[in-house]
Structure 1
Amino acid sequence: MKSAERKNPYFVFFIIIGAISGSCIGELLGDNVVALKFLKSTYTIGTSNPMLIDFRVFAVTFGINFNINIMTIIGVILAIILYRKY
């Protein structure tokens, strides 16, 4: 039971690294190979304007955006496969 609890941070780390590397590879391939230009197109999920809560003493700003392309999804899938295999 403890080994499963210890591996959860590694799983999140693998997914984040897979998403970042997939995005970078998609950007590089989209810029350099004309036939793979579609890999560079990104889809944005999240808030376009951050939410601001002003308490007069301090202000808090909330906002999150995910820029996802095809290679990001492939990178996450490969990270999950590698995590389960090793």
Structure 2
Amino acid sequence: MDQVTQQNAAMVEQTTAASHNLSGEAKELERLVARFTLGGGADAPSAPAPARKARPQAARQSYKTAGNAALKAAPIEESWEEF
């Protein structure tokens, strides 16, 4: 039981160190992102999101590789039967 307690304590230390490291990286990322200007303020009109064109299901292709060459395979048939 003492060994399990020591392992748990070690994991807590590792988790604490990782969370402090992540906090520092998040602050650095925030500092880097703050350098960008997004233009306009709250009253600036926003651009509409670009429309996505739907790809027909028949157009989907899968590729397999052989060495460093991609080989065209049969079209993908989506089915829940394999699950």
When normalised by structure 2's length, the TM-score is: 0.36
Q: Point out the structure with max Rg over C-alpha.
A: 2
The structure, 1 or 2, with the larger RCO (C-alpha pairs under 8 Å, 6+ apart) is 1
Give the number of the structure whose residues are more often helix, by fraction: 1
